[in-house]
A and B are shown apart, each in its own frame.
Chain A
Amino acid sequence: MSDAPLAPVPGLARRVLHQPGAVLGGGLFAVIVLAVLIGPLLWPIAPEFIDVAARNQGPNLAHPFGTDQLGRDTFARVLWGGRISLAVGLSAMAVALLLGTLVGLLAGVFRWLDGPLMRLTDVFLALPLLPLLLVMVLLFRDSLSGVFGPEGGIFILIVLAIGGTSWMNTARIVRGDTLALREREFVLAARAAGCRPVALMLRHILPNVLSPILVSGALGLSTAIVTESALSFLGLGFPPDFPTWGRLLSDAVIYLADYPARAICPGLAISLTVLSVTYLGDGLRDAMDPRLH
């Protein structure tokens, strides 16, 4: 391990392409992202357009996923909801990666910070996350909505809440790799050349821990999407007329017996996204594992 350098990014890309799971997962995820980005622009029916004459329809040509109890097109709502769900997932992942990388690097580079930061990580790992997330949403929903508007407030709240409670694994991985890197000659050389700790951290260590950060990002993205959907499903996510996948699913569950398509479509969207991201993350991890080459 000591003489096999951690994968540089171009070599990594080539090895990822040899992982069928990663290619399939990445491809599917790209398709989903493109669909929710471009789809609402191409699809003629607006997600909030109410067509009372076409209430409670099953899937047909005009409405491929059917319509809901107000006559809104489920396909348009799933596309639009995907934007929110993916935006929440990606932003929460970014927050978690930033926090985790920062904590991990600081703990790895500065010896005196290692103990306190790792104890902090342990405490966070022992927090009951789902109950706490529910409590946080309930407590801060109104005050943040007042400042940033109903959608902006809940978006910021959910992103910060999910990101702020899911950085611990990244921090542990980054710290472990940083500790290993610290003993290497190039770090010693950089130190001997007079590199200051912060520059050492950012210029020499950070580029070398990017690949494990990437993998934990892929896994974090799927967790963030599922958590947001769970919050919406429990009625403590986005406001009712704001279609996220979890919200659409929870709204459709009461009509499950009569109009199953309405619940299955958003549910499938969540599951396929998580599935593709999980395959992508697994493929990335295998591509970087030196034991498998």
Chain B
Amino acid sequence: MLSYTIRRLAFAVPTLLVISLLIFLLLELAPGDPMAQVPLTVPPEVKAQMREALGLGEPVHLRYWKWLVQMVWVEPLVLVDHLFGTDFSEGKLRILSWQHRGPVMDVVVQRLPQTLWVVGTAYVVGILIALPIGIWSAYRRASIFDQAGTFVTVVGYSVPPFFTGPLLILVFAVQLGWFPAIYDTTHRVTDWQGFTVQLKQMVLPVMVLSLQTTAQIARYMRAAVLDNLGQDYVRTARAKGLSEATVLGVHVLRNSMIPVVTVIALGMPAIFGGAIITEQIFSINGIGAQLIGAIKAPDMPTVHTITFLFAVLIVLTNLAADLLYGWLDPRIRYE
């Protein structure tokens, strides 16, 4: 197991390097010029100096190397400094945005909590709804509940977030007026009333995102429980007189969770992708909105950094899914 973990980790590093290089080369072709906003009255030699200061005059491989060093060495050092009050990163250059000329990671750190709050809540809510639906659909297979549940999950799977979002706004914000249509990111929770305001504005985005999660996970849960219900150990458990609740809730649930846990881990990147669209619909000032803004600007260092962070997330969740699978199911042996 340990050697397998190390091997998988060792493979994750070159994967990430290749991906970051791919993104970098793709962005190399970008038509965007960070000097586009500089007034025409600025003399060419000053412009050339400014270009130099942004590190644009150097060859491609050198600039990639510099980005890499900044991303995997300087930025972690800044984090360490921030956490422990040291000054390792003193005087080192960080990845600068072309939009606001400040470090990209500072903005990412500001934006990330908004996204994490909404995405995290949505994921937890989605899983909590999906598991009972999946279990009960499988247990009462071909019943009305199962038919309805399957239909709802297929609908949830087919209706894209950019349609459920406006639809929910129409019903709950425009017609009923229960929840706000726009997420106020400047809102601070200081008292009970502020907390309810925060809760209310989170309802619609969380609903949009969790609908997708619910649909997917409920499908897998149903299939996994169906697989397990036919197993011998279930018959044994029933034969020795255990209650149905124990059989279902303890024996079947634990075994069915093995494949579903990996699906839950693997679904994380997809929900971050969904968050890009959801943030656009509800005007949430999160990392997805930052990415869209940077793409349209165009602000290549920011795009590169955020896309790379997404790739790290995907590779790490894949790794976690693989390892969890082996840990949860002792029958699986890695050589």
Chain A contacts to B: CB under 8 angstroms: 122-123, 125-132, 134-136, 138-140, 142-143, 222, 226, 229-230, 233-236, 246, 249-250, 253, 256-257, 260, 263-264, 267-268, 270-271, 274-275, 278-279, 282
Contacts and interface: CB of A to CB of B under 8 A. Distances in A.
Contact of B154 (A131, A140, A229, A279): A279
B169 A256 contact: yes
A129 B273 contact: yes
Contacts of A142: 31
A126 B167 contact: no
B296 A267 contact: no
A136 B26 contact: yes
B169 A131 contact: no
Contacts of A274: 158-160
B247 interface: no
Interface string B127-165: 000000000000000000000000000110111101100
B166 A138 contact: no
Given A132-B307, A142-B31, A229 B269 contact: no
Contact of B23 (A130, A132, A235, A253): A132
B276 A131 contact: yes
Majority-rule SS of A interface residues: helix
A128 B295 contact: no
Contacts of B281: 253
Interface residues of B, number: 44
Contact of B26 (A129, A132, A234, A271): A132
A126 B311 contact: yes
Interface string B21-45: 0110011011100000000000000
Contact of A230 (B27, B155, B277, B315): B277
23 contacts: A123-B15, A126-B16, A127-B314, A130-B276, A131-B303, A131-B310, A132-B307, A134-B291, A134-B292, A135-B303, A136-B26, A139-B30, A234-B276, A236-B295, A256-B166, A256-B170, A264-B170, A271-B155, A271-B163, A274-B158, A274-B159, A274-B160, A275-B159
B318 interface: yes
A253 B159 CA distance: 16
B87 to A, nearest CB: 33
A234 B278 CA distance: 10
A271 B19 contact: no
Majority-rule SS of B interface residues: helix
B185 to A, nearest CB: 19
Between B19, B158, B273, the greatest number of chain A beta carbons within 10 A of the residue's beta carbon is seen for: B158
Interface in B270-316: 273, 276-277, 280-281, 291-292, 295-296, 298, 303, 306-307, 310-311, 313-315
Contacts of A130: 273, 276
B53 interface: no
A249 B26 contact: no
Contacts of A126: 15-16, 19, 311, 314-315, 318
B166 A123 contact: no
B174 interface: yes
Nearest to B161: A230
A102 B276 CA distance: 32
A246 B162 contact: yes
Contacts of B62: none
B310 A128 contact: yes
A270 B160 contact: yes
B239 interface: no
Contacts of A246: 162
B160 A271 contact: yes
B154 A135 contact: no
Contacts of A270: 160, 163
Rank and list the top 4 A-B pairs by shortest CB-CB distance, nearest first.
A128-B310, A267-B163, A275-B158, A274-B158
B72 to A, nearest CB: 17
A125 B322 CA distance: 15
A158 B16 CA distance: 25
B18 interface: yes
Contact of B160 (A127, A229, A235): A229
Between A135, A222, A260, the greatest number of chain B beta carbons within 10 A of the residue's beta carbon is seen for: A135
Contact of A127 (B30, B31, B296, B311): B311
A278 B215 CA distance: 13
Given A132-B26, A230-B160, A234-B280, 15 more contacts: A126-B315, A128-B313, A135-B23, A135-B26, A135-B27, A138-B30, A139-B31, A222-B158, A233-B280, A234-B276, A253-B166, A257-B170, A260-B170, A270-B160, A275-B159
B158 A271 contact: yes
